[in-house]
Amino acid sequence: MYDLQRVFLQVKVLIEKGPSITLMDLSHKLGIERHTLEKAVRQCTGASFREFRAKVLLEHSRKLLKDQCNRSIKEVAFALGYRSQGSLSRFIRMSTGYSARHIRQESRDVINGRQPSLGPRRRGCEELSSNSAQ
């Protein structure tokens, strides 16, 4: 019988080192059955392995986008194990409702002392309201 807390800590360390690691890779690396790893993550976090890994991946994505503004979104995607910029962008948009570009711009605004925008710019809204006033 495994100490699930200890197993979870091992999983957490490996996911934080490489957030794109798969459950099967973790299982092979640790020599522990896949379902035992899933059980440890669920018991310690209340989330599935996939949800926990996505949370860690999102944190890493945001950190890289904010802290390394000189890296392109494509470089960040590859650093996180994605095969394309589009895959990372889709993941971020589905997780946060914002684009990767928006998250990066928010951090640049803060660095430059500007107030970050409240949300993504909706195209056409300003044009519609100014046209209807005429």
pLDDT tens profile 74-94: 999 998 888 899 999 999 999
Distance of alpha carbon 32 from the chain centroid: 26
Q: CA 7, CA 41: separation in Å to the nearest integer?
A: 8
Q: Residue 43: is its pLDDT beyond 90?
A: yes
Token couple for 48: 């599935």
Distance of alpha carbon 86 from the chain centroid: 13
Q: Residue 3: is its pLDDT beyond 90?
A: yes
Nearest CA to 15 out of 65, 3, 2, 47 is that of: 47
Instruction: For residues 43-61, give the mean pLDDT.
Output: 94
In this structure, whether the domain defined by 4-111 belongs to CATH 3.30.310.40 is answered with: no
Q: Residue 134: is its pLDDT beyond 50?
A: no
pTM reported for the whole predicted model = 0.74
Q: Residue 130: is its pLDDT beyond 90?
A: no
Question: What is residue 18's DSSP assignment?
Answer: -
